[in-house]
């Protein structure tokens, strides 16, 4: 089964609440993951807040093309809810 991101919302700092295609909702802290040139702009909170779900790749993405694989987000997130 392929895993996809269906929704994303900002919590605080560098934490996001992410809804996955299997019905799981997880809180993901990306504060320690912003390494490398592509992720450097995300350290500015105003830019981090521009996160959205890319409908083509079905994961979170920022305007500069930075993204994270759904599987990585799923593995590092803390489950808060599982829907039927």
Which residues have CB under 8 Å from 84's CB, separation 6+? 23
Superfamily of domain 5-82 in CATH is NE0471-like N-terminal domain (3.30.2020.10)
State residue 38's pLDDT score: 97
Which residues have CB under 8 Å from 31's CB, separation 6+? 13, 14, 15
State residue 1's pLDDT score: 64
Alpha helices, H only, the chain: 45-48, 70-76
State residue 81's pLDDT score: 78
Please write the tens of the pLDDT for every residue from 15-71.
999 999 999 999 999 999 999 999 999 999 999 999 999 999 999 999 999 999 999
Between CA 71 and CA 68 the distance in angstroms is 8
Taking alpha carbons only, the member of 55, 13, 52, 19 closest to residue 34 is 13
- Token pair in block for residue 79: 């489950």
């Amino acid at each position: 089964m392929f895993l996809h991101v269906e929704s994303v919302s900002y919590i605080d700092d560098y934490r996001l609440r992410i809804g996955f295609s299997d019905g799981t909702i997880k809180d993901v802290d990306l504060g320690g993951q912003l390494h490398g040139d592509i992720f450097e702009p995300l350290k500015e909170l105003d830019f981090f807040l521009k996160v959205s779900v890319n409908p083509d790749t079905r994961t979170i993405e920022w305007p500069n093309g930075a993204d994270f694989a759904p599987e990585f987000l799923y593995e590092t997130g803390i489950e808060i809810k599982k829907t039927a």
